Structure 1
Amino acid sequence: MSQIKPTGQEGEEAFATLRNNANAIRAICSAVEGTLGPKGLDTMLVGTQGEVVITNDGVTILEKMDVTHPAARLLIQVARSQQHQVGDGTTTATVLAGALVAEGVAQVTRGVPVAKVVRGVQDGVGTALESLARRARPLEGMSDPLLYRIAYIAGREHADLAKLIVEGAKRLGPAKLREPHFRFSDVVMSHGKAANEVWPGLLINKKPANAQLDFPPDTAQVLLFQDAFEPETVDEEALMTDAGFHKQTQLREQFRALLEKLVELRVGFVASERAVDPEAEQFCTDHGIMVLQRLPRAELRRIAEYTGARPIRRSGLRKPASELAGYLGFAGHVAYDERLESVRLAEGKGRTQVSIVVGASTSEVVGERLRIARDAASSVQAALRGGCLPGGGAAEMAVAHELDRHRETVQGMEGFGIAAVAQALRKPMAQIVVNAGYNPLEKVEEVKAAQIASSNDALGIDCDTGSVADMMAAGVVDPAEVKLHALQAAGEVACAVLRIHTVIKMRPRTEE
């Protein structure tokens, strides 16, 4: 089988598209693989207007790159999927996808049919996913010391950010972090004028609509509108008639009367998804009621969950005060922070929330620290959900050896695809070793021999000394979910690229 060769010029032409796509993907991978591992370096992105972004984050690099090649865009989808589903590991997913494509192309250009390689890659990825899932170690609750190590590794060894994320996670608790639709990274925000802080409540990045802003910290009943906080209106056509104009005047007078219910119910905080009527804003200001307008629906939902409020429409103000009281939430602390230009809510009667503030000195550094902190938050949440695995490419190396043994039991040419997956799984460790300044061929073989001799899948390379070390004992750990999704997404896009035989430009869309 090792003697398989493509047939002359005809074979070269058949592989032209495949090689072109592979070269484009290789170019994309080269832009991010230098950031992998503890010795990875940053990338500077420069915009057309001179704007600068300095980052180590794979998805940020790929999102901001000027990419036109269609196959390269497929690779960027891997990073986007990884970011959306897990929130970390975008560089690992990209490197794995690039390695799978490169190894698959190498097999195809040797003469192995594409269909056989693709089927073998699918088999190999499926087997590898099962092996990784089987090796995952569960965390022992919020007190497990590995939780900090996960935040520290994902946070690129920023100890202050790791402590911040772990403190926030402990305040939220494991039940909240394991909720399917809750994203821990969403509670992390940054500010150039702030110090690092974990606020036990909500920080709403919005300036009150009130003319005055000096609201003293106080308890407040909370009323939320899922539309505009203004009088009901008649349509423009009816407004042109006397009856319509009279009706609009009546509605405004009724609205003024309904505002008195806010005082009766001791409402101290009002938030609206849309605009706030100037008269309503003045009434609230006169009675010490803070008003926020034009809040995103997701933000309004967070406030509702935290305070226990039930959003109403403006017509809901017509309800009797006793009935309207059932829609109110409560917060024991409501205040506007001028330094952060945000409203602070605390001691809500609803579900537990925290807000994590990441500070820095400049806008460029603030943006990068925010990305790092969100990666750490995503990794902590993923580890609590699915456990952890040895980092530094050690787990992938162990699975690669298992795939080598599986390859020996497979009859047929699908075995070449399985071999491609096994070789691609060694790429993360090889790249980490390269970034640390060592010979990847030597170190990868050294780890392979050590893992086989000791039956220990946690052995990897210490990037400071270059010697073989136990990654679990050294605290170099990664969330299992990050590795599992990265491999799955990489396998899917690699198979899609390998199957592309022809690229045809579509005609432009024309309006009928």
Structure 2
Amino acid sequence: MSLKQQASAGAEVDEKLSALITNADAIRAVASSVESTLGPRGLDTMLVDKFGNVVITNDGVTILTMMEVNHPAARMLINIARAQQEEVGDGTTTAAVLAGALVGKGVEQVVKGVPAARVIEGLRAGIKRALSFMQGQTRAVESLTDPVLRQVALVAGREHEDIAELVVEAAGLIGREKLLKQSFKLSEAVVAEEGALNQVFMGVIINKEAMNRQMPRVLSSVRVLVLDDALEAESIEEEALTTEAGFRHYLELQAEFQNNLQKIISLGVGLVLTDRGVADIAEEMLTDTGVMVVQRVAHSELRKVAEHTGAVMIKRTGLKKDPQQLVKLLGEAERVQEDELLEQVWILEGKGKPLATVLVGAATAEVVGERERIAKDAASAVQAAVKGGILPGGGSLELAAARMVEKMRGEVSGMAVYGIDCVVEALQRPLAQIVANAGFNPLEKLGDVMAAQSAGGSTSLAVHCDSGQVVDMLALGVVDPAPVKTYALKAAGEIAEAILRIDTIIKMKEYKSPDLNSVSDMTVR
């Protein structure tokens, strides 16, 4: 091969490594932005937008989703974090830290000359072994009265005891069967309000007030009508009003609407909720008969009210039904009350499906958002623990898994062993970062814990972040939901494999419709 050919080949290799290194740097930059928040001594991050608005938080998914990111590889990691949040509601920081470590070590191996395919092969094998080990260590949560649930809530809730108590109480009210449903999310029951008192109750909150001050503030044994529509007469085109037949039809519609209103009143409906506006005549008639009307309610809140009270959401045309049919579409609640201070309507003890609300109080408007995020994390963690069991936290189990994976070095062939090394280093990272955030030397403490785990045969030993001593995390009450750990490792492995497979970056020319078969429309950079 000529010098020119060698130089050309070298340039091509350098370009491919450059693409890989660029992507890896982007991943590690994103991971480093959240790793300082890990553990009980993790620090907060301040997010500032172009208008000077500030969010101060310790929540990984909030940081990742609110930070400004332009690099496509970095956006891949953020999408993984969103998926983690959607699936289990917690563990996004762990997923990001693991991904950053896997990618960093993987790229380091490739730069040394290890083929990416071999690294990926070892990486897959190592993660599979680690996941199998974690599943074998999982302890099921059999009862909602198990004290371990409070510990799960306390760890995920960043040691806020009041929030942990609220979340566990809410889980008990809702019941195990509801918590196990894939469609139900306990975190959606969390509401934070400035000036509110911490409490849990069976019911839902509507973030709206009654239409006027003449409507009742408190109702008992209430029938509830939920309209996914406006409470108005059916409309007619303006052009039709210019004709005699059109005007007659308009009068008929108005008469029919008033008849429907009388029907609502005769059925004893005490609360009417609408998705859109309410006609003046409807407001007047319902006010005079002591009905509370709340208009322009968010669809998600309407859905919750319908589920909790047993109502069926209907359109305005549904009001034409016979009273015997319409009454079957109404919901019921023991009590409805308006909170003028919080500007909310509370619907309590509905006759439909059990729904609890976790109301978290905050002293000032500045901390409302963070209190809500903390409570949602705790609620998600409790539900995940009920579904999938618990594991020792504090980075202890990941380190024990790393020791198990390291034993695979003699089981894999050839250069795949370098992929095993990537998984080992990544699994050591959570404990190392927690220790570093607590102000201790991570190398020293890693060695202490590894020695202690080997000597005692325990998988739950880690470092106490106050004393620096090696202690048993289970005895200390530091536990995590198993699904949070396993999903985070799976997600990190997926993003690492995706990044390691990319060795060329191609910038697409702007075009109206995608045509990936037309490579002539692309320029390589």
Task: Provide the TM-score with structure 1 as the length reference.
Answer: 0.95
For residues 75-94 of structure 1, what are the structure 2 equivalents within 5 Å? 75-94=77-96
Equivalent position SS for 1:93 = helix
For residues 97-136 of structure 1, what are the structure 2 equivalents within 5 Å? 97-136=99-138
Residue 461 of structure 1 corresponds to which residue in structure 2? Answer: 463
For residues 42-441 of structure 1, what are the structure 2 equivalents within 5 Å? 42-210=44-212, 212-235=214-237, 238-441=240-443
What is the RMSD of the two structures over their aligned residues, measured on CA atoms?
1.8
1:497 counterpart = 2:499? yes
**Is the 8 Å Cα contact of residues 198 and 355 (structure 1) preserved in structure 2?**
yes
Residue 477 of structure 1 corresponds to which residue in structure 2? Answer: 479
State the shift of 1:200 in Å. Answer: 2.2
| Counterpart residue type for residue 372 of structure 2 | L
State the shift of 1:212 in Å. Answer: 3.2
Unaligned segments of structure 2, at least 5 residues: 1-8, 515-525
Residue 518 of structure 2 corresponds to which residue in structure 1? Answer: none
| Counterpart residue type for residue 136 of structure 2 | R
Distance 1:237 1:411 in 2: 81
Structure 1 outlier segments of 4+, above 6 Å:
none
State the shift of 1:345 in Å. Answer: 0.9
| Counterpart residue type for residue 451 of structure 2 | A
**Is the 8 Å Cα contact of residues 37 and 392 (structure 1) preserved in structure 2?**
yes
**Is the 8 Å Cα contact of residues 194 and 362 (structure 2) preserved in structure 1?**
yes
**Is the 8 Å Cα contact of residues 394 and 459 (structure 1) preserved in structure 2?**
yes
Distance 1:511 1:117 in 2: 36
| Percent identical residues | 51
State the shift of 1:151 in Å. Answer: 0.6
Distance 2:422 2:287 in 1: 68
Distance 1:319 1:41 in 2: 59
| Counterpart residue type for residue 181 of structure 2 | E
| Counterpart residue type for residue 229 of structure 1 | L
Could you say if the C-alpha distance between residues 286 and 213 of structure 1 is closer, same or farther in structure 2, counting changes exceeding 3 Å?
closer
State the shift of 1:211 in Å. Answer: 5.5
State the shift of 1:156 in Å. Answer: 0.5
Equivalent position SS for 1:82 = helix
Distance 2:158 2:473 in 1: 16
**Is the 8 Å Cα contact of residues 44 and 54 (structure 1) preserved in structure 2?**
yes
Cα-to-partner distance string for 1:8-29 (whole Å, 9 max, x where unaligned): 7664433111111111222212
Equivalent residues, number: 506
Equivalent position SS for 1:505 = strand
Distance 2:104 2:238 in 1: 63
Equivalent position SS for 2:424 = helix
Distance 1:121 1:128 in 2: 11
| Counterpart residue type for residue 160 of structure 1 | D
**Is the 8 Å Cα contact of residues 216 and 292 (structure 2) preserved in structure 1?**
no
| Counterpart residue type for residue 133 of structure 1 | Q
Distance 1:280 1:298 in 2: 24
Distance 2:294 2:107 in 1: 56
Distance 1:406 1:50 in 2: 51
**Is the 8 Å Cα contact of residues 211 and 285 (structure 1) preserved in structure 2?**
no
State the shift of 1:123 in Å. Answer: 2.4
Equivalent position SS for 2:474 = coil
Equivalent position SS for 1:35 = coil
Distance 1:210 1:147 in 2: 44
